[in-house]
């Protein structure tokens, strides 16, 4: 028969408590990187053609015992991203691995996150579009502020679904650690 120690009971209790509330996640990334496609995949379990996002998409999704409220902020006006950075439980940063032309912009935007988000954050970086032959490896350097944060990376394709659930699972595990502390 299984036996829980008091500390694991407390851990289970704290996970159960925060599972019942919706966790706020924001997806950012350059326009066309695949943010809405990833969100649609998470919502519908399959790829759906997207329209350019004007303003904001918000979806509520459940993964394991956790409820996420995910904000997909249009990539065109990048200064708007920071309006969503308050009280975040996690941030998803999407990179188009086929877009070599804008890779320097991606690197700068990633670094900027470090100075704009002033607290330790759980972050998932999706390296998207790996189904395409021109997909190449991407390296991102952390800003000093980001050294503190918990960051995981996942190669993925919103077209085939490869890596999409693995990414959320990695972020979910980081959140388990965060709420156990």
Ligand X SMILES: Nc1nc2c(ncn2[C@@H]2O[C@H](COP(=O)(O)OP(=O)(O)O)[C@@H](O)[C@H]2O)c(=O)[nH]1
Which lies closer to Mg ion via its Cβ, residue 95 or residue 175?
A: 95
Q: Report, in Å, the least distance between residue 16 CB and Mg ion.
A: 34
- Residues in Cβ contact with 171 at an 8 Å cutoff, skipping those fewer than 6 apart: 25, 90, 92, 122, 123, 124, 152
Out of 36, 40, 128, 146, the only residue in the binding site for Mg ion (CB under 5 A) is: 36
10 Å CB burial of residue 11 (0-12, 13-18, 19+) is middle
- Tell whether 31 is in a known binding site: yes
Answer with the entry of ligand X, Mg ion, none that 32 interacts with (C-beta below 5 to 8 A by kind).
ligand X
The binder of 117, among ligand X, Mg ion, none, by C-beta within 5 to 8 A per type, is none
Region from 29-37, 94-102, 163-171, 172-180 binding Mg ion, contact rule CB under 5 A: 29-37
| Cα torsion 154, 160, 161, 166: sign | negative
- CA nearest neighbour of 102 among 123, 79, 75, 130: 75
Residue 34 engages ligand X in binding (rule: CB under 6 A): yes
Lookup: tokens for 112 = 């900027």
Q: For 14, which DSSP code?
A: H
Window 57-96: contact mask with ligand X (x via CB under 6 A): ------------------x---------------------
Among Mg ion, ligand X, none, partner that 131 touches (CB below 5 to 8 angstroms by kind):
ligand X
> No. of H helices and E strands in the chain?
4, 6
Looking at beta carbons, which residue is closest to ligand X?
34
Please state the residue numbers annotated as binding site for Mg(2+): 36, 53
């Amino acid at each position: 028969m299984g036996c829980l120690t008091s500390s694991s009971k407390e851990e289970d209790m704290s996970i159960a408590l925060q599972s019942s509330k919706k966790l706020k996640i924001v997806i950012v990334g350059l326009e066309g990187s695949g943010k809405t496609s990833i969100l649609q995949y998470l919502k519908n379990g399959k790829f759906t053609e997207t329209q350019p996002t004007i303003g904001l998409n918000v979806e509520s999704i459940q993964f394991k015992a956790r409820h996420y409220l995910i904000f997909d902020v249009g990539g065109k006006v990048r200064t708007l991203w920071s309006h969503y950075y308050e009280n975040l439980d996690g941030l998803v940063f999407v990179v188009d691995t086929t877009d070599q032309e804008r890779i320097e912009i991606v690197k700068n935007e990633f670094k900027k996150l470090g100075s704009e988000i002033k607290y330790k954050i759980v972050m998932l970086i999706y390296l998207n579009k790996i189904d395409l032959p021109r997909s190449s490896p991407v390296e991102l350097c952390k800003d000093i502020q980001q050294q503190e944060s918990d960051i995981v990376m996942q190669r993925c394709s919103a077209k085939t679904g490869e890596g999409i659930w693995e990414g959320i699972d990695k972020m979910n595990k980081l959140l388990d650690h965060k709420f156990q502390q």
